[in-house]
């Protein structure tokens, strides 16, 4: 495997991982944009300029999505990489105490 192919593999793998993790923290949205930019560079270096153009467009779309996410929720506590707190989890292991039905 030559260096250019390895670079492309790393770029596309980073895109896939960051896209899958976007819901966890908005930093992954920005990382996805960076990975798309790397994919764009790979496309141009390889000679597949349509791929390079499409990936550059995806990078711009991801940056726009990241900016909107930052404006809509400026204090996202999960951005520092900390695990979600109890109020952020989707499922609770212990249900809340409620009185039994009559």
21-69 residue pLDDT tens? 998 998 999 999 999 999 999 999 999 999 999 999 999 999 999 999 8
> Which is it for the CA torsion 76, 78, 80, 85, positive or negative?
positive
The helix-helix angle for 27-46 and 49-72 (nearest 10°) equals 170
Percent of the chain with pLDDT over 90: 62
So what's the pLDDT on residue 20?
A: 94
Percent of the chain with pLDDT over 70: 73
Where are the domains positioned within the chain? Answer: 3-73
Residues 81, 25 contacting (CB under 8 angstroms):
yes
């Amino acid at each position: 495997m030559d260096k250019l192919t390895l670079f492309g593999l790393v770029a596309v793998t980073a895109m896939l991982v960051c896209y899958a993790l976007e819901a966890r923290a908005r930093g992954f949205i920005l990382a996805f944009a960076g990975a798309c930019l790397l994919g764009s560079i790979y496309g141009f270096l390889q000679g597949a300029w349509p791929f390079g153009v499409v990936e550059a467009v995806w990078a711009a779309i991801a940056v726009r999505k990241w900016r909107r996410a930052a404006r809509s929720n400026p204090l996202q506590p999960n951005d520092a990489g900390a695990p979600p707190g109890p109020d952020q989890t989707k499922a609770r292991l212990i249900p809340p105490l409620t009185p039994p039905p009559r």
